[in-house]
Amino acid sequence: MNLKSNLRIGVLGLQGAVKEHLDMLEGCGCNAVDVRKVGDLQGLDGLIIPGGESTTIGKLMERYGFDVEIKRRVGEGMAVFGTCAGLILLAKDIVGSSQARLGFMDIHVRRNAFGRQVESFEADLDIPAIGAEPFRAVFIRAPYIESVEPGVEVLARFDGKIVMAREGRFLVSAFHPELTRDKRIHEYFIEKVVSG
């Protein structure tokens, strides 16, 4: 029996790069759920908060009550993976911003942190947790993690900056792993963070 086929993983479908994550999850053999209503969070083993605009996603989450229900489901053991804007929304501290957030992870995050000259770029990252092969990462107006508190595991850096981290059932990446064909980061979330 394939364990993954029993897992239900949602993608918060309020705004941003939703479809690509759903396709990736299906490619990994999970039940992928497009989360459009608060009730869609019921029964999920994991949730992906996609890239997009973190201020917009944060506002919509509050307006429709997703924030409250996501926190309740996390209390029941749901794992969460935030990519790019999703990373920002998972941080306790967003440098210089009071925008709405979930604040699950003890990380200090800076938005649009790589500067205007490098709005978007690709880079090969060493991510030992997913294997020896470098991962081709796509960064789009990306944040980075300035620093982490104890208990947060740094999984990847680019140019010395922290761009992927894990704290228990929470995973974040500053880049967009759904925009490549490489499934290893989604597999890591499913196998290690959701099932681990």
Minimal distance, residue 58 CB to ligand GLN, in Å: 9
One of 21, 30, 176, 186 is an active-site residue; which one? 176
Minimal distance, residue 80 CB to ligand GLN, in Å: 16
Q: What is the DSSP letter of 152?
A: P
For ligand GLN, the closer CB: 7 or 49: 49
Question: In terms of DSSP bridges, do strands 170-173 and 79-83 run parallel, antiparallel, or are they unpaired?
Answer: parallel
For ligand GLN, the closer CB: 7 or 114: 114
Closest CA to 194 of 177, 167, 165, 169: 169
User: Tokens 């595991």 map to which residue?
Assistant: 153
Do residues 153 and 64 lie in contact, with contact meaning Cβ atoms separated by under 8 Å?
Answer: no
User: What binding mask, one character per residue, do residues 22-61 give for ligand GLN by CB under 6 A, x or -?
Assistant: -----------------------------xxxx-------
Q: Does 111 bind ligand GLN (CB under 6 A)?
A: yes
Give the DSSP letter string of 42-94.
Answer: TT-SEEEE-SS-HHHHHHHHHHHTHHHHHHHHHHTT-EEEEETHHHHHHEEEE
Minimal distance, residue 153 CB to ligand GLN, in Å: 22
Q: Does 118 bind ligand GLN (CB under 6 A)?
A: no
What whole-number distance in Å separates Cα of residue 72 and Cα of residue 146?
Answer: 28
CA distances from 69 to 41, 73, 75, 101, 183 (A): 8, 6, 10, 13, 28
Q: Is 28 part of the annotated catalytic residue set?
A: no
Q: Is 108 part of the annotated catalytic residue set?
A: no
User: Facing residues of 135 across strands?
Assistant: 125
Answer for which of 88, 137, 155, 194 binds ligand GLN (CB under 6 A) is 88
Answer for which of 84, 145, 165, 179 binds ligand GLN (CB under 6 A) is 84
What whole-number distance in Å separates Cα of residue 28 and Cα of residue 141?
Answer: 27
One of 20, 28, 30, 178 is an active-site residue; which one? 178
Which positions from 137 through 156 interact with ligand GLN, judged by CB under 6 A? 140-141
Q: Is 84 part of the annotated catalytic residue set?
A: yes
Q: Which residues are catalytic?
A: 84, 176, 178
Query: Residue numbers of the site for ligand GLN (CB under 6 A)?
Result: 51-54, 84-85, 88, 111-112, 140-141
